[in-house]
Structure 1
Amino acid sequence: MIDIKKLLALYVGFILLGLFLILSFSTNTTYAATATQATLGKVLSNTVDNKGVDRTLPKGLTNINELFNVPAITDNDTKVLAPNEGGNKGSADVTVLTELGQTNKVGAIWSKRTQSDTSKQNYIDVNKRQTMSMWMYFGGVDTFGGTNTGDGMALVLQNVSDSAFTNSGDVDNTPGEALGVWGTVILPVDVVTSALAKTAIQKSWAMEFDTYPNSGTYDSNFDKNVSGVNHIASNYPARESTYGLGAEGAYMNHDNLITSIPTTSKSSNFLTDDHWHHVTLTWTPAPSGSTEATMTLNYDDKNMDGTPKLTSAGKVNTKVMKIDTTAFDLNGSNKLYWGFTGSTGSSSENNLVIFESIPSLVEADALTSIIDETSGNREITDATTDNPNANVVHQGDKVSVNYNLNYLSGSKPWENIDATINLPDKIDYSSALITYTDDAGKTSTETIGEFSGMTNNQIEHKLGQSLYKTGITSANVKFEGTVNAGTTATETDVPAAHASFYGSDLQKDVMTKAFVIKQPNKITLTKTGSDVTTSFNKEVLLNGKVSYSDKTKTVDPSKLTVVASVNGEIAKTSMSSILASNSTDTFALPVSSQLFSNLHEGANTVTIYVYNDEDYNVSDTITYTVTISGTVSIETSPASNFKTTQSFGDNSIIPRGSGWSIDVTDSRQKGAGWKLFASATPLVNGDKETWTNSKDGQSLIFVDGSGNTDSLINNEVEISSAVKSQTAAQDYDIDSQWSSDNGVLLKRGSYESAGTYTSTVTWNLQDSI
């Protein structure tokens, strides 16, 4: 492979050596030899070496050969080392894209997008959120600038094949600056940008992690406009606009350029610093009607123990990049190949990848929340200028710490999930429970047996259920407890706590929110009314008076929320909306069956407390007993009729007309029963002439749903019955249950004189089954 890019570096090296000799002579100081890169065996040793460099290997996936293809490209140096293979002493597969000492080599590994086993097909679905996470190692040394390394790796999305690579026509003469994906410059061909673009991987987008500054020579000038030893950048390899021409040869236009990372120990060689770096890439689909998707890069975003790696401003290194999906020439498809390419020239390095998630197999979220149940089930969030107490809880508050796992998409279940949870400090935990929810909304629970033996707020537990797009889709792991700072200090800071959920094909790390415990500025709530007895449909007012233990503090009802619990059903309202007449410190809380469906016949417990919306201080609790005297009642229309008829004939049935309304309301306890009976007087017209059939009791009849007929004339017949099936008041519309040929009907006799006939129906409602 022709590679003259190191000449300048060698020249600079001679100058530096001469300078070292002069300094040594003039100061009589002996300097150590230049540090060298660690061999592959040392990097994979999974130990701390004798120089104090941590060689611990990250956790990751172990089925890489099933999911990725190492293409048969000349001089492809890529290999996948399983645990205990080729010196790999870790627990995950290590993809060696290029190896230190193997010069003039290339590297490539691609997802298996079209393999026959659909559960193992590996691709990027452009229509869904996709998360790729991995650990990356670029060689180098912690104490050196990095120019003796080369050449880095490129993450590539493409729509060509699982054997794609830069096409120079002669792999042996492929310059290192191409990284196996960009266009190639080959001596002595005259360079034009259109020709460069044609030699690159087509239908692609790439993000390079470049470890060598290529500038100043014909076939090594891509980085002429980039400062620094290492950089990250992106562009479209097959587009002519990606390249430019200068006096020294072709150069590359670097989009989304990154030349330093604040979380790393080295400003110039932030890639080649002899450390593993975690990378998370999140694909967000283009909005409807658009072709512009988004790729979000979080680089060096996690420590080896899973905790987030943050800048001094408390942020993750993030770069948001726009991707034009027309570059992939999808032609109706939604799937892309993805993988890594790389290269070495006369310099080399260990370019290593440990994959942590494969989005086409499992895409899921792991989220945390801390809920202050005492202050109205408020979620703890970061403090802001508008809400400086958003991260505050108070001594004695009841809280829950939640870990929510949600399956989003994929071809395989997220299974064998091992949870390692470090719970936040300063909480006396009282319970732990996992609640699973399936795709139909049905829930089931699982106890966490390790909770009873928990020490130092640490738990390790394997979830008993897998998550998938069908069946169980989510799991809520909840710990409940009481805030206890164990001190009278005004404020106590509680740091964020880490938890990991590592399962087959996906590993997730999460952190709880840090929060502050404050001693409460006591709000006193006084019960100013009496327990009440009422009926179901009546509204009662329950009074409470608010004051502060700090007598200098004035009650402002607009900043107070009243929380009421009726038999466990919770409702919240602003105190200012329910103030008692002519008062600023006393509320009148309305309670009725319309407002609280859990009210039932008999004694109901109503608990009430108040909290401040600004500082979330909570009052003590007052309790009322509201007794509901249950009844069962009937309401009917005062007049109902049958349809007017002029027909003749014996024993015909006249249907009901308008105005029928028979309603039963039961406000007793659930399970109570009732029966409804009816009887009628004979029908007579205005001249007191009796309806023909009334003489034999057959004029007014009741026909049940089975067609059985009974006369109502001077005869009590059971019309309907029911058993109350709910706690709240229950209404029954009796006549709406009748069809045109059943219910109360009118039967003709042989002959009726013209006129209007009337009868009195007596309804008898009995409160028994």
Structure 2
Amino acid sequence: MMVKGVVLGFVSFLVASFYLLTVTAQARTPFDLKHGLETTPQGIALPSLFEAGRSPWNHAVVVPSQNRRTPTTQVVQLTDDAGQVGAIWSKENYRFNLNHRQTVSMWLYFGDGGSFRADRNVAGDGMAFVLQNGGGVQAAPKYPGKIFGETLGVWGIDNLNSFYSTAGDVAKTAIQHSWALEFDTNLNKTADINSGGKGDAFDLDSDDNNLMTPHIASNYPGESSSYVPKDNYSLIRFARSYALLHNGVLAGNDFNFLSNAKWHHLTLTYEPNSSEAKDASITYSFNDRDPITGVSARSGMTATVPIDRSIIDPDNTGQAWWGFTGSTGNREENNLVVFDEIPDLVDSEAQSHLRVQVAGATDKTIPVKAGDTLAKGDKVSLAYQLRYLNGSRSWHNIEAQLRLPKRLRFNTMKVQYPDGTETKLNGTDLTLPVIRQKLQTLSDNCNQATIELTGVVKDSTGPVPAATSEFKGDEAVAATSTPEFHVQGSNSMVLHLTSTASLTVDNSQSVSLPGMVDLSNSQYQSGDVKIRGELNDDTQLPDQKLSAADMRGAFNYKIPANTLRKGHNTLKLTAVDPDEAFSNTITTSLIATNEPKSTGTLGFANLAGQADFSGKLTGNRQTLPNHSTLDLQIEDSRAAGHGWDLKARLNQPLTNAVTKQPLLGDLYYATTWGDHEVLSSADQIVAHGETDGDDQVVDVTAKWQQQYGLFLQVNAGAQQGLYSGSITWTLADTPHT
């Protein structure tokens, strides 16, 4: 993207309010919470398995997914504002069995604090996965009337600041007989003469770890060995803080590691040495699945730590309560959890096996591995194997949602079970984007379902991405992905240029290159096919469709004036059909005799006035109307083939001129495409457009309505006063879409 111009617009904001009699707690980041719930991955329902913690501090609730693709999923919302603690625990019948191997997996969401400033500590505090026998559903740290965010709802409280305080004193205030895996989104690295007892030193550097960014780590919250004193002296003063020892650290490269407005998958596996031994281990793998595609992620991070069962289970019951805790201090954070596999409920796995028939051997197939190349007409088979490994329940209401690999054409599909039952699905449309199939209940007596498909490789050259299929039931969700591979078929389309000789052109004039695409072996017509151009190996030109009105396959590829650089230019053209099958690539040379000339300008035609928000505060969260005199117009006189983005950035929080305190609320821009962009210190795209070749003036503010434009969301705790701030508006050139 090339920035054509940057214009600053300074806009004042006025909030007139009256004395508030009542204040109700509201989420300070409602749009981030909305985003998290609207992008919820697939998980399971929770009410019969968990209950919210019963400590007086608890804010955790279970809420439904707002993602239309995952309507049955339920979400644990641990915190959604500053100064909160939340916990959710397994019900007694679903405690963690410490005598056997266990697997639990989940999706985690840590808000959007790090997405604004990857170089600075701006997120809330985080959450923790916890095993404990320290109070069951009532377990919580012993807060002294104030919540310390660094505890994450499980660690001890560092508030003593005494020469006589010990690590044991801190440990006594934590959840006892516990092990915690923390997801720490906010660094606590303060220990000086003024910070003793303020609970902000857990992440001080130790000999083994240099904790400079948000991280994942583990230890025993109720053990004094987990805490190390950090003392500071002066002639008349003494200050003591405590650092937390971090085991099995997985750290990010910046503050965008956890709190980045994205869901992150975690798989945790508990492995006892034996049912009698006190030793065990836990392996946790983070970001091991892609939240959009579900594909297993190669970039996942893994650590394994030893576990002393006698610390978690001193009475040797063989069980522990398990769940999640979270907390926030001065900064808010939406801490959300979605479970997709629960220990001791249903342990399941899904696998996929894609195989291709060996040429000339009708009874021999070999597996397709990542990176392999298949040829047109190869016979393939695809088997999905779903297994029930063990559990306290049967696996009910399973629906297979199959996303089959592209560039393959499947002809048959059947489902088989261990007792020999077989169902042939002759009427199933195997060309659908997602094939849905109900499966039998799986249990110890019927522990496997196999779905087999057969087909051939289509004549559709190109790469085939991994395809992830899911198996969703009441008690568990399993997923599996096919490998990435490539199809090399004979080109069903053949592209010809009328002339491939070097052409000398005047850069001030457009260039037209006639040619023909041979579609005699293709199922598609001219209107379905486009020509893709690449200039000088570094510039992707806009695709151009063939005209259905012309002779079948005929085209004239046009290069706009002032597109070429002076001298030699290399142009590559390829025909592409709706299956993303490619023709051969033709390369030709164009020699421009002159430098490209300016083709118009992009800029602000007007930027004046101000936005004015006013209203009477009610003690509840509300949206104040915009009485705007802002006049923002964009002029674009460039040739067709260009677009623009309008970006907005709030330079600093809206601030009270008298008290110098920031307004509790969010200034946001509701876009015409349905997004609510909270304006902060990062640029947000709020509008965009494209030029049609004529001189255009777009009046942005004239189109503001009740549905979109600038809005001010005021939180319940906002105080009366006059607040002001400024916005930087940036206009940027973008490629034509």
Tell whether the structures are fold-level matches, with TM greater than 0.5. Answer: yes
Partners of 1:288 and 1:68 in 2: CA distance: 25
Aligned partner (choices 271, 282, 286) of residue 284 of structure 1: 271
Residue 468 (str. 1) matches residue 443 (str. 2): yes
What's the TM-score, normalizing by structure 2?
Answer: 0.55
Residue 113 (str. 1) matches residue 82 (str. 2): no
Partners of 2:460 and 2:127 in 1: CA distance: 52
Aligned partner (choices 42, 46, 49) of residue 31 of structure 2: 42
Runs of 4 or more off by more than 6 Å in structure 1?
30-33
Deviation at 1:372, TM superposition (A): 3.1
1:371 corresponding residue in structure 2: 355
2:285 corresponding residue in structure 1: 298
Deviation at 1:67, TM superposition (A): 1.5
Deviation at 1:239, TM superposition (A): 2.4
1:182 corresponding residue in structure 2: 155
Q: Is the 8 A contact 2:403 2:468 kept in 1?
A: yes
2:392 corresponding residue in structure 1: 411
Partners of 1:372 and 1:28 in 2: CA distance: 59
Deviation at 1:424, TM superposition (A): 1.8
Residue 339 (str. 1) matches residue 323 (str. 2): yes
Deviation at 1:31, TM superposition (A): 8.5
Matched position secondary structure for 1:108? strand
Judging by fraction of residues, say which structure has more strand. 2
Q: Is the 8 A contact 1:122 1:358 kept in 2?
A: no
Change (3 A) 1:467 1:255: same
The correspondence of residues 567-586 of structure 1 with structure 2, limited to 5 A, is none
1:247 corresponding residue in structure 2: 231
The correspondence of residues 554-569 of structure 1 with structure 2, limited to 5 A, is none
Partners of 2:383 and 2:262 in 1: CA distance: 33
1:60 corresponding residue in structure 2: 43
The correspondence of residues 93-492 of structure 1 with structure 2, limited to 5 A, is 93-100=74-81, 102-103=82-83, 105-114=84-93, 121-140=94-113, 142-145=115-118, 147-168=121-142, 170-189=143-162, 190-216=164-190, 217-218=195-196, 219-225=199-205, 226-248=210-232, 249-260=241-252, 267-286=254-273, 291-308=278-295, 310=297, 314-329=298-313, 331-374=315-358, 376-382=364-370, 391=372, 393=374, 395-437=376-418, 442-448=419-425, 451=428, 453-455=429-431, 458-463=434-439, 465-469=440-444, 471-486=445-460
2:153 maps to amino acid: G
Q: Is the 8 A contact 2:100 2:275 kept in 1?
A: no
Measured against aligned partners, the alpha-carbon deviations of 1:173-193 in whole angstroms (never above 9, x if no partner) come to: 452212221122223444311
Change (3 A) 1:287 1:396: farther
2:471 corresponding residue in structure 1: 501
Aligned partner (choices 54, 75, 79) of residue 61 of structure 2: 79
Partners of 1:394 and 1:303 in 2: CA distance: 29
Partners of 1:283 and 1:274 in 2: CA distance: 29
Q: Is the 8 A contact 2:27 2:80 kept in 1?
A: no
Matched position secondary structure for 2:170? helix
Partners of 1:485 and 1:276 in 2: CA distance: 37
Deviation at 1:409, TM superposition (A): 1.3
Q: Which has the larger radius of gyration?
A: 1
1:76 maps to amino acid: N
Q: Is the 8 A contact 2:38 2:66 kept in 1?
A: no
Partners of 1:241 and 1:507 in 2: CA distance: 38
1:459 maps to amino acid: I
- In the alignment, structure 1 segments of 5+ residues that lack a partner are 1-26, 48-53, 115-120, 262-266, 384-390, 521-769
Aligned partner (choices 43, 46, 52) of residue 70 of structure 1: 52
Measured against aligned partners, the alpha-carbon deviations of 1:646-667 in whole angstroms (never above 9, x if no partner) come to: xxxxxxxxxxxxxxxxxxxxxx
1:508 maps to amino acid: A
Deviation at 1:97, TM superposition (A): 0.9
Change (3 A) 1:76 1:38: closer
Change (3 A) 1:396 1:269: closer
Partners of 1:361 and 1:174 in 2: CA distance: 34
Partners of 2:466 and 2:92 in 1: CA distance: 39
Matched position secondary structure for 1:181? coil
The correspondence of residues 526-545 of structure 1 with structure 2, limited to 5 A, is none
1:615 corresponding residue in structure 2: none
Measured against aligned partners, the alpha-carbon deviations of 1:621-668 in whole angstroms (never above 9, x if no partner) come to: xxxxxxxxxxxxxxxxxxxxxxxxxxxxxxxxxxxxxxxxxxxxxxxx
Partners of 1:393 and 1:285 in 2: CA distance: 44
Partners of 1:288 and 1:67 in 2: CA distance: 24
Measured against aligned partners, the alpha-carbon deviations of 1:279-337 in whole angstroms (never above 9, x if no partner) come to: 22232333688644333323233334442263xxx443333333333332364433221
1:239 maps to amino acid: E
Identity of aligned residues (%): 31
Change (3 A) 1:462 1:90: closer
Deviation at 1:260, TM superposition (A): 0.5
Measured against aligned partners, the alpha-carbon deviations of 1:115-172 in whole angstroms (never above 9, x if no partner) come to: xxxxxx353454123232233333425222463332211111123342353443x441
Deviation at 1:423, TM superposition (A): 1.3
Q: Is the 8 A contact 2:228 2:244 kept in 1?
A: yes
Q: Is the 8 A contact 1:427 1:481 kept in 2?
A: yes
Q: Is the 8 A contact 2:28 2:332 kept in 1?
A: no
Q: Is the 8 A contact 2:273 2:280 kept in 1?
A: yes
Partners of 2:402 and 2:11 in 1: CA distance: 45
Give the CA RMSD over aligned residues. 3.4
Change (3 A) 1:363 1:67: same
Deviation at 1:398, TM superposition (A): 3.1
1:238 maps to amino acid: G
Partners of 2:341 and 2:29 in 1: CA distance: 24
The correspondence of residues 625-636 of structure 1 with structure 2, limited to 5 A, is none
Partners of 2:141 and 2:434 in 1: CA distance: 54
Deviation at 1:202, TM superposition (A): 2.1
Change (3 A) 1:509 1:32: farther
Deviation at 1:368, TM superposition (A): 0.9
Deviation at 1:455, TM superposition (A): 1.9
Partners of 1:349 and 1:179 in 2: CA distance: 12
Q: Is the 8 A contact 1:165 1:200 kept in 2?
A: no
Q: Is the 8 A contact 1:166 1:178 kept in 2?
A: no
Partners of 1:505 and 1:94 in 2: CA distance: 15
Partners of 2:400 and 2:131 in 1: CA distance: 32
Q: Which fold has the larger relative contact order, with Cα–Cα distance below 8 Å and residues 6 or more apart in sequence?
A: 2
1:379 maps to amino acid: P
2:471 maps to amino acid: F
Partners of 2:320 and 2:187 in 1: CA distance: 30
Deviation at 1:81, TM superposition (A): 2.1
Measured against aligned partners, the alpha-carbon deviations of 1:382-420 in whole angstroms (never above 9, x if no partner) come to: 47xxxxxxx455554432111111101112221211222
Change (3 A) 1:39 1:510: farther
Q: Is the 8 A contact 1:41 1:88 kept in 2?
A: no
Partners of 1:201 and 1:485 in 2: CA distance: 62
